[in-house]
Structure 1
């Protein structure tokens, strides 16, 4: 009776989610594999601690299933899709239809009905961008083949879910041509309402709600579940509505802090519950029987791998891509996780009046094998061949990156003047001197000024003693700033602000001051609370109108003589970090070293071309700074950076975030480097990063 308690079941789930994925990731296996195995161990064929039929598991798994498809819709980059819309639709059609046909053939070979065979085909037709963080880290996302594959996801996932809806309807019985037409018309109207209606409603609500992130978060959750319920009302599976809702609010959320919260809740709680439930459904005797007669699982895996390759090969011929682009498109479209698992579970639980399932245990187990195989080999192949992709470069001569810090102009005595202003939020008296010195060095170089800023949290009554105390502390923090600034001969305009939100107070002040740069100290706020509610740094990165430099300075910036700038790709953000380092180096007569960690499989000619372009960009600066380029070949980018940084006083990094479907953990090079570096650090973030 104790084990039947919902609280006990929920506690066991939390314990599994907390402990199992990290263990499997340490042995280089996806965390979701560990959750599936945990489900098997804790299910009826194991310790019998969890029951898939319990109301607690049912509820959390259902939420996880719709959340998984919602996140899959959120992660599709609509901006990238619009850039290569026609080719994305072309490749999407190929990588949908070829696997669909292959799946139908497999189904018929194993004597499944036409309806089940088509459903098997639809399971193979979609794909999950599991290897997206790899191409992002390699800096090849802007390659057309990658962009086309990302855009094709919207077509394959939508098509697969629509086929699922029709197959489920047919399996329910009494399905005529008229009912099919009715379903398709209803689905078309419903899709239009969700995609356009939710997009409009979301933008209106976000515009009117301003900075109320709590209500915005609830609005997004409401949109998800209203769309899911609406799908069921018109006779379509709820995951179709969840996916469409993700697409609908994609533009609304952008890269806002609310999006981070929405994805965080799903990735740490609901989506893992879905994978545990998938493990609970695995019948070990049936699974062993399926694998003993391995032909069905082998046929499905071979059909998927072969058909996805044929689709990528046809796209290569059609759009004249090279071999590296062909193999990258193939490997990116291989992993079958989000839509495939969710649809397979729906089909397995769909029973007609005669008591027959749409797919049997053999197909479900084969899909799980397919997921395990493709989620491992897909990213491996991507890492092997994506490094050879050629990325179209910006015409740096036309892009005035030498003045990346340039802000809005103002009119002084009838003349246009561009003041360089650095806002420096102050909180910790122990680190504020180095912050002011860093800001003063930059401001002096640009003949500008600094604005030391102290934030006092607001209260309802302006005569509240707590506010009075906070204002006094703010004034004390600003007292020593003038003396430090006088040492550098720069103009200082100290400011005290009362604000309910520290991050917004910083961003509003920088906007009011027409700031060109915000220089902040490092925040040690980590853990669950920081991940859920975000840090001040996260919020400033998102809300700021200008670049933000977050610093961890171990010594005075005036003593910096060697600056290291890791360079992975040639983007505007990378060049911004280079310019920042050059300005700081010019003030100290320091040396800048640009470090590029190359992959062992990158052709030497491509590496030489990258170095040449990087050298040209560095030389475009009007500053007479000693800038060197260093190339190191290595598989572990973070390890190389950490090793090379031992001989430097400062490392300038970019703020970059990587996401992946299904809430799977992805190690970030920047995060690992920051944890282990023993020198000073500047983390430079562009607006809305």
Structure 2
């Protein structure tokens, strides 16, 4: 009787899900919100949890979702297009150009050898040539899931790493083009195939050249309208997808090519952040869940055939990638550590492999057994690759240091800095105004410069609006207070009131007009969905400013700061720019600066000594009159090591960097973000502008300093 009741309850639930599409959508949102968090806590990729959720909720589990649903299919298709588009958008074209020939060489090895291996495996298991070649192409592409690990170790500029990063453009394009030809060959004859290849080449040129030109023109004419830029990018993606289907190729090929075409147009800015955000929080997770619905666990227990196929696919992929890296070692004279790093970096198969596998399954080229085997391959390689990289890359030689391009502040004479520096202080927030003015005064005394208190009165189209008048009166009061405080600190002061359509834009424009070389802002917390989607004032200033931006959270007067901690992750000159800012504050207060580098616990004592010598050499090149103390700690958790060390300090100066999302937009947590939440002392987060060449702090534009 109880069994009958359970069956009836399940049938009733299924009827509700079929009649009310809003119910499964609500369940989807719960899964997307909760499951990735749980899996990341056990150190598994978020997409693994989403695929697992699809298995549990699909025919192999509770059977709550069905892929035949038109709404679900539409959202999944959008996620598929988005996933491949973001893969193209995340390709590092600059890295590719740095080592173009070697990137093409390694890309060729990484494409041909795995493709041949996969094709042979397909033929061994009785698949036709078309299906076998498609299986081989699935082996070719890879995703840089371990990029944050390399960035933390400071070895991103190592040539072997740069070559591996650059090679992704070749392997991904090659894999998708093979997919397009294989799928088309099942529907057309040999003569039409030649015609299709000609159309494909023409189509690719139109997308890569035409969309790049159109994007540059549109972005130039749109000015600061981020909404229109965002819509243009989305329109370009789906127009390319429609165009691909119109000439008879898969839409994901067009999506990837558009990602490459608008790669440099979008750049690292708020538009890219919004594009990736929309896909990563909704459409791409739905695609992963839909993929999980297709997995049939019962096929693994029908015999040894599926398990044998999975074993051969996994071993074939790992072996072929190893051979490709070994060839690169022999030809380009890399050492074993570099060769193993290239191998581990090229193992993870995620976005392009997933998308191509699903397309092959839907078109009938790949059976369900291959789909299941490739999903297992993706789960294993996405876990194994980063794990191996974290073990191997520790021993890689550090990135080459970049020489300072201009003298540091401490080297400049007072008579030079008097006309060269202007310190701009934002007085928009009364709660942070006093301490910001004090910091400006400390810097002004060091550089013999003037302070310009800045207030932004925001306005719409009407200059006689009552809201503008109220904003002007408030700004004038804040300016008067800031001017009085600045003069009481013995600093020359020239207040500035600006009317602008937005607070952040007003700061960036005023700083540029004043020829600023540093912007300092008070703490602004990001809250709510709107803030995540549209950013906040700090984000906007970071993206649009021409100079470094220091975001401050001061718990006490800057005049009381006696001990300053500056953690550095990458041992390069640009990462030491926070040291210069800390040293300026320290000299004003007769304080002590400590530069801290946290290395992996497995790092040998000789490697630690080498890091210390390297760091000492870089710091000495900054030309500081009182060199800071250098400390290196071996610890398994960077954030925890810094938190423990920070207990003895009044101020921590952190580099503010945005994470690179190589796995289709699923973000990885940042050390700086974690520290900002947990540190109890004063904090300054120094963010670098997105479109400026490397150089030392406050010397990139050697005219002024702006503290906002």
Q: When the two structures are superposed, what TM-score results if normalisation uses the length of structure 1? A: 0.95
- Contact kept, 8 Å, 2:659 with 2:667, in 1: the verdict is no
RMSD, aligned CA: 1.8
> Is residue 678 of structure 2 the alignment partner of residue 671 of structure 1?
no
Seen in structure 2, the aligned counterparts of structure 1 residues 83 and 623 have a Cα distance that, compared at 3 Å, is closer
Deviation at 1:28, TM superposition (A): 1.7
- Aligned residue for 2:212? 199
Instruction: Decide which of 264, 288, 296 is 1:251's aligned counterpart.
Output: 264
SS in 1 for 2:664: helix
- Aligned residue for 1:353? none
- Give the number of equivalent residue pairs: 673
- Aligned residue for 2:22? 7
> Is residue 386 of structure 2 the alignment partner of residue 371 of structure 1?
no
- Aligned residue for 1:688? 690
- Contact kept, 8 Å, 2:639 with 2:671, in 1: the verdict is yes
CA offset digits 1:546-603 (Å, max 9, x no partner): 2111100000111111000001113343121111111111111110000011113334
CA distance in 2, matches of 1:456, 1:474: 7
SS in 2 for 1:491: coil
- Contact kept, 8 Å, 1:444 with 1:488, in 2: the verdict is no
Deviation at 1:416, TM superposition (A): 11
> Is residue 220 of structure 2 the alignment partner of residue 220 of structure 1?
no
CA distance in 2, matches of 1:380, 1:395: 29
SS in 1 for 2:408: helix
What pairs up with 1:493-512 in 2 under 5 angstroms? 493-512=494-513
SS in 2 for 1:122: helix
- Contact kept, 8 Å, 2:419 with 2:449, in 1: the verdict is no
- Aligned residue for 1:529? 530
Seen in structure 2, the aligned counterparts of structure 1 residues 293 and 572 have a Cα distance that, compared at 3 Å, is same
The 10-residue stretch of structure 1 (57-66 or 608-617) with the greater mean CA deviation from structure 2: 608-617
Deviation at 1:291, TM superposition (A): 6.9
- Aligned residue for 1:115? 130
CA distance in 2, matches of 1:269, 1:597: 36
SS in 2 for 1:427: coil
The 10-residue stretch of structure 1 (104-113 or 595-604) with the greater mean CA deviation from structure 2: 595-604
Instruction: Decide which of 384, 393, 400 is 1:393's aligned counterpart.
Output: 400
- Contact kept, 8 Å, 1:195 with 1:245, in 2: the verdict is yes
> Is residue 285 of structure 2 the alignment partner of residue 285 of structure 1?
no
- Contact kept, 8 Å, 2:354 with 2:375, in 1: the verdict is yes
SS in 2 for 1:203: helix
Deviation at 1:479, TM superposition (A): 2.0
Structure 2, unaligned runs of 5 or more: 1-14, 692-708
Instruction: Decide which of 113, 117, 142 is 1:98's aligned counterpart.
Output: 113
CA distance in 2, matches of 1:419, 1:405: 13
Deviation at 1:395, TM superposition (A): 5.2
- Contact kept, 8 Å, 1:10 with 1:56, in 2: the verdict is no
The 10-residue stretch of structure 1 (664-673 or 55-64) with the greater mean CA deviation from structure 2: 664-673
SS in 1 for 2:515: coil
- Contact kept, 8 Å, 1:401 with 1:576, in 2: the verdict is no
CA distance in 2, matches of 1:474, 1:290: 76
The 10-residue stretch of structure 1 (192-201 or 600-609) with the greater mean CA deviation from structure 2: 600-609
CA offset digits 1:397-447 (Å, max 9, x no partner): x632524999xxxxx9xx997421122222221221001001111122111
CA distance in 2, matches of 1:684, 1:247: 30
SS in 2 for 1:28: coil
- Aligned residue for 1:181? 194
- Aligned residue for 2:141? 126
- Aligned residue for 1:409? none
- Aligned residue for 2:426? 425
CA distance in 2, matches of 1:663, 1:17: 14
SS in 2 for 1:76: coil
SS in 1 for 2:170: helix
CA distance in 1, matches of 2:384, 2:648: 38
CA distance in 1, matches of 2:78, 2:477: 51
Deviation at 1:103, TM superposition (A): 0.3
Deviation at 1:664, TM superposition (A): 2.1
Q: When the two structures are superposed, what TM-score results if normalisation uses the length of structure 2? A: 0.92
- Aligned residue for 2:389? 382
- Aligned residue for 2:165? 150
- Contact kept, 8 Å, 1:290 with 1:297, in 2: the verdict is no
Seen in structure 2, the aligned counterparts of structure 1 residues 376 and 153 have a Cα distance that, compared at 3 Å, is same
The 10-residue stretch of structure 1 (544-553 or 65-74) with the greater mean CA deviation from structure 2: 544-553
CA offset digits 1:364-417 (Å, max 9, x no partner): 000000001000000000111112211342353x632524999xxxxx9xx997
CA distance in 2, matches of 1:370, 1:527: 37
> Is residue 181 of structure 2 the alignment partner of residue 166 of structure 1?
yes
Deviation at 1:658, TM superposition (A): 1.2
Deviation at 1:48, TM superposition (A): 2.3
- Aligned residue for 2:574? 573
Structure 1, unaligned runs of 5 or more: 351-356, 407-411
